Structure 1
Amino acid sequence: MSQTLVVKIGTSSLTSPETGNLALSTIAALVESLTELRRQGHNVVLVSSGAVGVGCARLGLRDRPRTLALKQAVAAVGQGRLMRVYDDLFTTLQQPIAQVLLTRSTFRERTAYINASNTFRELLRLGVIPVVNENDTVAVDELKFGDNDTLSALVASLIEADWLFLMTDVDRLYSADPRQVPDAQPITLVNHIDELEELQVQTGDRGSAWGTGGMVTKITAARIATSAGVRTVITEGRFPGNIQKILQGEPIGTQFEPRDTAGNARKRWIAHGLIPSGKLMLDEGAIAAISQAGKSLLAAGITAVEGDFQASDAVKLCDQQGREIARGLVNYSSDELQMVRGHRSEEIPTILGYTGAETVVHRDNLVIS
C-alpha cells in the first residue's frame, strides 16, 4: 500500500562530529533507501539539515556561527554544496529531486500555506523527492522554526503524511541519555505523548556541536505530528534501511501512536501552522462549552487577556492555571477584548460603540489541543 513518508535527518547523522564534513557513506545509504521506497510506490519527502555544518567545513570554521548574519551567510555557502551532493547521488539512481526552502511565514500565511501544499502535491505526483530545509538565508529570529525537527513535523501535517521518521544519533528514546546512564531503559512505543512525563523521561535540550536539535525538539515534533494524525518514529540516522524494516512491522526505534484526528486542512493550519500572538484565560463554563459541547467562545467566558494582537490573529485559549486548552482565530483585537471580556454578547455593541461579531472565536476557527 502506497504511503506518504516524511524523513528528517539531522546534522549529527549527516556530518562527522569531529570535522563537520559530510558523512558520504550515510548520505549514500539514505539516498539508496529513499529511492527504493519511491520505487515501491511510496511518496517520500526528505527534510535535511546540514547546510550550516557543511558551510562551516567549506569555509574552515571550527565553531558553529553564533550571530544570525554569520549563520545565514554560512548556510548560503553550505546549502548549494549539500544539494549538489544529493543531486549527484540521486541522479545516479535516476531519481529526480527538488529543493524546497521554507520559512515560518509559509505556514503563517494561509495563501502561502495552500500554495506550499499544492506544490508538494504536484512534486509527489510527478514522482519527485522534495528535499526540504529552512531558508536560513532570509529567515528572521522571530519567524524561525528553531530546528528541522519542528519543520519536518509541520511539513508532515501540511501534506497529511502517514509517517514521520526522525533520524538521529541514537537508536531510540530512552528513560535517560544512554551515553551517560548505562542502565537507561529503552522505550519502544508511546501511546500518548503525555506518557513520557509519567515515565520520567529525561530529554535534554542540547543537540550536537554542529546541530541545533536535541531529544526535546524531537518530542515536540512528535507532539505536533501525532496530533495531526501522523505516526512518528525516532530511529538511528546511520541505518536508513531501518525505515523499510519499520514499515514492514519490525519494532525498531521508538514509535509514537498518532491521535485519531478528523481535523480538516484549515484546522490543521490553525493548530500547527500559526504562531499564537496572545492568550485568553477562560472560566470553567467556557472551557466546558468549547471542549465538551463543541461551541464557539463568547466574551462572557474570558477572565483575562494577555498579549498584543489584532482580529484574525491566532491565540491560545487557556484555563486559569495557564494550561492550553485550545487555540483559534479571534474576531477582536486584544484592546477590544480587554473592554468586552466577561460581558454578554448583546452588550458588546454598547461597550465598543459598534456592532462586532457575536463570537470571540467561532467554532469553525477553533481547535482543541
Structure 2
Amino acid sequence: MTKTIVVKIGTSSLTQPETGQLALSTIASLTETLCNLRNQGHQVVLVSSGAVGVGCARLGLTERPRAIALKQAVAAVGQGRLMRIYDDLFTTLQQPIAQVLLTRADLVQRSRYLNVYNTFHELLGLGVIPIVNENDTVAVEELKFGDNDTLSALVASLVEADWLFLLTDVDKLYSADPRTVPDARPINLVSNIEDLQIQTGGKGSQWGTGGMVTKISAARIAIAAGVRTVITQGRSPHDIEKIIQGEAIGTHFEPQPEPTSARKRWIAYGLVPAGKLYLDDGAIHAISEDGKSLLAAGIKTIEGEFDSQEAVQLCDINGHEIARGLVNYNSEELQKIRGCHSRDIQGILGYVDADTVIHRDNLVLI
C-alpha cells in the first residue's frame, strides 16, 4: 500500500560532531533508503538541515555564526553544495530530486500555502523526491520556522503524510538526557502527548539548532494532522524501512484518530499569532467544551496590535494558551467592545462587522 513518508535529518546526523564536515556514509545510506522506499511505490519527502553547517566547513569557520546576516550568507554558500552532494548520490541511483526552499511567509498567506501544496502534489505525482529546507538566505527572524523539526511537521501536515521520521543523534526519546543521566528511561510509545513527563535539555549539537523540545513540538503538530511520528537514530537510516515493516525501533507518537482539518491546521500552526486575548472561564468553557464561537463578552484583556482576520492566541487569565483563531475585529476595536454584549457593538463602534469575535469555523483548540 502506497504511503507518503516525510523524513527529516538534522545537522547532528549529517555532519561529524568534531569537525562539522559532512558524514558522507550517513548521507549515502539515507539516499539508498529513500530510493528503496520510492522503488516500493511510496511517496517520499526529505527535509534536510545542514546548509549552514556545510557552509561553515566550506569557509573554514570553526563555529556556527550567530549574527543573522552572516548566517544567511553562510547558508547561501552551503545550500548549493549540499544539493550538489544529494544530486550526485540520487542521480547514481537514477532518482530525480527537487529543491524546495520555504519561508514561514509561504505558509502564512493562504494563497501561497495552497500554491506550495500544489507544487508538492505535482512533484510527488512525478515520482520526484523533494528536498526541503528553510530558505535561510532570505528568512527574517520573526518569520522563521526556527528549526527544521517544525518545518518537517508542517510539511508532513501539508502533504497529509502517513509517517514523519525525525532522525536525530539519539536512538529514541528518554525520560532525561541519557548522556548526562545514567538511569534515564527509554520511551518507546507515546499514546497521549499531554501525559509525556520528561526532562529535556537545551538545543542539540553545536552545529544544529534543534533539541528534544523542538522534536516533541513537531510531533504535536504532526499527530494533530494524523501523521504517525517516529524519533530515531540518524546514523542508521536503514531503520526507516524496518520501522515501516513493523519493527519496534525508536519512539513512536500515535496520531490523533480524528485529525483536524487542513484549514484549521493552517490556522493553528501555519500562521504566526499577532496578539493574545485573555478570556474568562465562561468563554473558555464555551469554546473548549461546547464548540462555540468566541464573543466579545468573554474577553477580559487584550495584548498586541493586530488587524481583523489575523491570527491570535486565546489564553486563560494565567497566560496558558487554549486555542487560536482568526479575529473579526482589530485590536483597537476589541479594546472598546471587550466584555460587552454582542447587541451593544453597534452602539459602541457605530457598525457591526460580525456578532462573533472569532467564529468557531476559524477557531482551533491547541
Taking structure 2 as the reference length, the TM-score comes to: 0.98
Tell me the residue number matched to 1:86.
86
What amino acid is the match of 2:200?
A: T
Output the CA distance in 1 between the equivalents of 2:290 and 2:340. Answer: 21
Aligned positions of 1:123-202 closer than 5 A: 123-197=123-197, 201-202=198-199
Structure 2 SS opposite 1:55: helix
Are 1:301 and 2:298 counterparts?
yes
Aligned to 1:226: 223
> Residue 222 of structure 1 aligns to a residue in which SS?
helix
Aligned partner of 1:88: which letter?
D
d(CA) in 2 for partners of 1:135, 1:127 = 23
My pick for the range that moved more, 140-149 or 261-270, is 261-270
Instruction: For residue 260 of structure 1, report the CA deviation from its aligned partner.
Output: 2.3
Aligned match of 2:255: 258
Distance 1:138 1:27 in 2: 26
1:272-287 correspondence to structure 2 within 5 Å: 272-287=269-284
Q: Check conservation: 1:48, 1:133, Cα contact below 8 A.
A: yes
Counterpart pick for 1:318 among 315, 338, 359: 315
AA matched with 1:5: I
How large is the RMSD of aligned CA atoms in angstroms? Answer: 1.0
- The code of the aligned residue for 1:323 comes to H
Q: Which amino acid aligns with 1:341?
A: R
SS at match of 1:317: strand
**Residue 317 (structure 1) shift:** 1.1
Of 327, 330, 333, which residue of structure 2 is paired with 1:330? 327
2 CA distance for matches of 1:78 and 1:321?
44
Aligned counterparts of 2:26 and 2:352: Cα–Cα separation in 1: 62
Q: Contact conserved, 1:205 with 1:217, CA < 8 A, in 2?
A: no
Shift of 1:4: 0.8
Give, in angstroms, the shift of residue 263 of structure 1.
Answer: 2.3
Distance (Å, rounded) in 2 between the aligned partners of 1:282 and 1:41:
49
Structure 1: 4+ residue segments shifted above 4 A: none
Mean alpha-carbon deviation: is it higher for 279-288 or for 76-85?
A: 279-288
CA contact (8 A) 1:234 1:255 kept: yes
CA–CA distance in 1 between the matches of 2:321 and 2:56?
40
Distance (Å, rounded) in 2 between the aligned partners of 1:262 and 1:33: 28
Secondary structure of 2:27's match?
Answer: helix
- Where 2:353 maps in the other structure, the secondary structure is coil
2:102 corresponding residue in structure 1: 102
**Residue 32 of structure 2: aligned partner:** 32
Q: Which moved more, 1:218-227 or 1:123-132?
A: 218-227
Alignment of structure 1 residues 233-244 onto 2, 5 Å: 233-244=230-241
User: How far apart, CA to CA, are the structure 2 residues paired with 1:359 and 1:282?
Assistant: 14
Q: Using the alignment, how far apart are the partners of 2:288 and 2:184 within structure 1?
A: 38
Please state if 1:203 is matched with 2:200: yes
Partner of 1:72: 72
Question: SS at 1:142's partner residue?
Answer: helix
**Residue identity matched to 2:80:** G
Gaps of 5+ in 2: none
Conserved in 1, the CA contact under 8 Å of 2:134 and 2:148? yes
The CA deviation at 1:30 is 0.1
In structure 2, C-alpha distance between the alignment counterparts of 1:323 and 1:237, rounded to whole Å: 34
Deviation of the 1:290 alpha carbon: 1.4
Conservation of the 8 A alpha-carbon contact between 1:275 and 1:314: yes
The answer to which of 122-131 and 279-288 deviates more is 279-288
Cα distance, 1:230 vs. partner? 1.2
Residues in 2 aligned to 1:265 and 1:227: alpha-carbon distance in whole angstroms: 10
Partner residue in 1 for 2:336: 339
The answer to whether 1:62 aligns with 2:55 is: no
The residue aligned with 1:353 is: 350
